[in-house]
Structure 1
Amino acid sequence: MPDSPLLTAAAVAVIALAVAAVVGVGLKVLRSFRELGTDAERATYHTLHAASQAGQHLRRGLNPAGAAKASRQLRALLGCEALAITDTAGVLAWDGAAEDLKPRLMDLAAGVLSGGHTAVLRAGSPSGPDAVDATGGPLAAVIAPVRAGTRVVGAVAAFAPTAGAGLVRATTEVADWVAAQVELAELDASRTLLMEAEVRALRAQISPHFIYNSLNAIASFINTDPARARELVVEFADFTRYSFRRHGDFTTLAEELRCIDRYLLLERARFGERVQVSLRVAPEVLSTVIPFLSLQPLVENAVRHGLEAKEGPGHISITANDAGAFAEVTIEDDGVGMDPAQLQAVLAGHADGDHVGLRNVDARLRQVYGNDHGLVIETAPGEGTLITMRVPKSQPGHDA
């Protein structure tokens, strides 16, 4: 069979070509999956990606560290030779060529910062930036104001060989985008200040009635049981130290429960056996971060408005359970309860005076975690009150 070697070689060649074709098709398919499709789709992706990356660095407003990182992304977005970001006092960041111009930038941007209008400085003109790129060619500049509301808080300056209409529009849009990030940062700061004000309101609520009643209870034991009085003084000091601390908007569930234990110890010194408490806590949720002073006001509400007005002994049950991605805390009392319509008015801020703690905690939870995470309260006259609070167990942005 003299032809068999030829047939074998042909068969091998055919198989090799087939394998090559399959591999080629496979690589093309895989490449198509990795690619984003059309040129327009890829351009859109890169634009949005750059904006997203820059936005992360401007979340705390205009500051040198964030502006320096954002300027790299924004320069790539505009495709210019250099990009600078300023506030009203000085240059925060410079990325790219012609950095020797940096000391003069605030003079060039003075009119923009004072008047709030975009300036175009042509290359080679008397008012131009007098800067060159890496090849020695002259650079033009577009300087656009960054406005937060009605205030000019800074500027974005882009440098390129020519300052055409496209670069002017793009730089103005980037400056407006930076302004939006600044306004969001200011909004976050305002929300933080609001939270701090609400915590101060809670502390003010604690001061007049609880401190007075606790000191009276301690005084009643000085002559009859000095050891008990000393113990209560220590607990009172620990409670007030925690309640009036000046650092942090968040704490752990374990710390808040310790605060509640001291609070109830002081209240039991006043009410005796009229206040009975049961506690059931899953150990895995003890490290969960929660807003500072978010549980103690709920327990205080149960004592003051639930049990104090009730005849005979009352019971408070506190539970903390692991509910998957959430820690679920409930505070239940068998006190006098309240009318649901009155409760709605309290939570809406339409009722002054009593139950300010409930409204305050509900508002802070919604502010921090969203409207789906407000207090869930079940109550009726004579039926007691059940309050449920659910917070995420994972909160990367919150430190206790």
Structure 2
Amino acid sequence: MTDTVVLAAVLGVAGGAGLVILLLLARRLGRGGADLGSDAEQAAHRALHEAGLAAVHLRGGLGADDVGRAARHLRTLLGSAAVALVQDGRVVAADGPVDEAAARRVAARVVETGRRQVLRAGEAAGAGGADAGGGGAGGPGAGDAAAAPIVVDGALAGVLVAFAAPVRAALVRAVAEVADWCAAQLALGELDASRTALAEAELRALRAQISPHFIYNALTAIASFITTDPARARELVLEFADFTRYSFRRQGEFTTLAEELRSIHSYLELERSRFGDRLAVTLRIAPETLSTVIPFLSVQPIVENAVRHGLEPGERGGGIRIEARDDATHTEITVEDDGVGMDPEQLRALLNTDADGAHVGIRNVDTRLRQLYGPGGGLVVETNTGAGTLVRMRIPKSQPQHALDTAGAGA
């Protein structure tokens, strides 16, 4: 059995499952290296390995700068003389002696029919004109060309073209399977981009929520001290500067608990200037939790929610208790207030609606935590009318994929 036939079989079995199945199979085969005795097993292992390498460079889309590296791995994957990726009538990536004119011609047929196509070397050479095969901008012709559409979400994203002398049926099937696999990687890349855009939009929403209400109150409080207590006014201006610098920073989606607590300190100092003795704050922070990597603006909005919706509506003010404790594999963070609380059913409705309004901060944090840590990673809220509110989050202590995001913390 040839490598191309094995490749078609492997990708055919994988179907549309994408990279996850490919990598799982590759890992399984890799652990049993001593068992890869037959030619078929070794060919399958090589195909899975090349697929994993190509996937990295496809996630950015066919217009990405490194898509050419994907073409190199796709060529090895198919075992063809050359490979080209064509988008909008233009060769965006190529590897090997690609006849770009022939690649464009067969890609145009794919676009017209929506199906895989084969262009024979003699057919291209006899066509004449600028699009004639057997040469062109890409170098000397590499024989026949087989092409298949790369379709993402029902739209044609590009065309995969493979050259061989001659193109056989097994390669045509393999090109179609690999094109489908490429489509899956492009779709996953779009999903990653959408998640990133959503995370950025959610942070903008949190900043927008913080700015109007709090900034007005903070500036009003600072103004009230300018003539009566200038030293206190200067202190509050510095706290306000620290708070806004942190809240509106641009670096990364993650920070450390220590950095977030510094910002919370500035926020609470500004609120104390309004509440006076009516606001009591208690902190119980285990030192080993301070380095925990947490989503940026995840604790601060909960503290603001406690002040704004828990304590501010009541004339007597109240207290806020912030705790962080080491719980084996997680850091558990709680924010509790003894304010007015709210009806649990009303809270449930607020957490399950996308409408703007009160408590948008706590809903935003809950959504982000679930996206990052799974359905069970969201906030746990305990509340009732007149009984205050307790909000709990559990953050995994080990997050190597997020560690670098803390480089800009506090900037």
Q: TM-score, normalised by structure 1?
A: 0.82
2:182 pairs with 1:178: yes
Q: Does the CA-based 8 Å contact 1:345-1:351 persist in structure 2?
A: no
Any residues of structure 2 matched to 1:372-387 within 5 Å, and which?
372-387=376-391
- Matched to 1:148, the amino acid is V
Structure 1 spans left out of the alignment, 5+ residues: 1-30
> What's 1:76 paired with?
76
Any residues of structure 2 matched to 1:133-148 within 5 Å, and which?
139-148=143-152
Structure 1 residue 178 displacement after superposition? 0.8
Distance 1:288 1:102 in 2: 53
> What's 1:93 paired with?
93
Structure 1 residue 69 displacement after superposition? 3.2
Q: Does the CA-based 8 Å contact 1:108-1:129 persist in structure 2?
A: no
For residue 250 of structure 2, give the secondary structure of its aligned residue in structure 1.
coil
Distance 2:168 2:42 in 1: 24
**Structure-2 change in CA distance of 1:71 and 1:324 (3 Å):** farther
Match 1:238 to one of 220, 224, 242: 242
Structure 1 residue 257 displacement after superposition? 1.3
Structure 1 residue 236 displacement after superposition? 1.2
Q: How many residues align?
A: 365
Structure 1 residue 190 displacement after superposition? 1.3
- Superposition RMSD in Å: 2.8
**Structure-2 change in CA distance of 1:62 and 1:290 (3 Å):** farther
**Structure-2 change in CA distance of 1:138 and 1:188 (3 Å):** closer
- Matched to 1:83, the amino acid is V
Higher relative contact order (Cα pairs below 8 Å, separated by 6+ residues): 2
Q: Does the CA-based 8 Å contact 2:68-2:93 persist in structure 1?
A: yes
Structure 1 residue 102 displacement after superposition? 4.5
Q: Does the CA-based 8 Å contact 1:124-1:138 persist in structure 2?
A: no
Structure 1 residue 358 displacement after superposition? 0.9
- Matched to 1:122, the amino acid is R
Q: Does the CA-based 8 Å contact 2:89-2:107 persist in structure 1?
A: no
**Structure-2 change in CA distance of 1:78 and 1:33 (3 Å):** closer
Q: Does the CA-based 8 Å contact 2:317-2:339 persist in structure 1?
A: no
Structure 1 residue 129 displacement after superposition? 4.0
2:261 pairs with 1:257: yes
274-283 vs 295-304, which deviates more?
274-283
**Structure-2 change in CA distance of 1:35 and 1:345 (3 Å):** same
2:300 pairs with 1:296: yes
Q: Does the CA-based 8 Å contact 1:120-1:142 persist in structure 2?
A: yes
Q: Does the CA-based 8 Å contact 1:112-1:118 persist in structure 2?
A: yes
Q: TM-score, normalised by structure 2?
A: 0.80
Any residues of structure 2 matched to 1:271-310 within 5 Å, and which?
271-310=275-314
> What's 1:340 paired with?
344
For residue 224 of structure 1, give the secondary structure of its aligned residue in structure 2.
coil
2:252 pairs with 1:248: yes
Larger radius of gyration: 1
Structure 1 residue 280 displacement after superposition? 2.5
Q: Does the CA-based 8 Å contact 1:137-1:161 persist in structure 2?
A: no
Q: Does the CA-based 8 Å contact 1:84-1:156 persist in structure 2?
A: yes
**Structure-2 change in CA distance of 1:92 and 1:262 (3 Å):** same
> What's 1:159 paired with?
163
> What's 1:355 paired with?
359
2:191 pairs with 1:193: no
Q: Does the CA-based 8 Å contact 2:152-2:186 persist in structure 1?
A: yes
2:115 pairs with 1:121: no
Distance 1:278 1:193 in 2: 36
Distance 2:169 2:199 in 1: 45
For residue 124 of structure 1, give the secondary structure of its aligned residue in structure 2.
helix
TM-superposition CA deviations, 1:25-77 (whole Å, max 9, x none): xxxxxx98721476665555444443333223323333555433333332233
Structure 1 residue 352 displacement after superposition? 5.0
> What's 1:14 paired with?
none
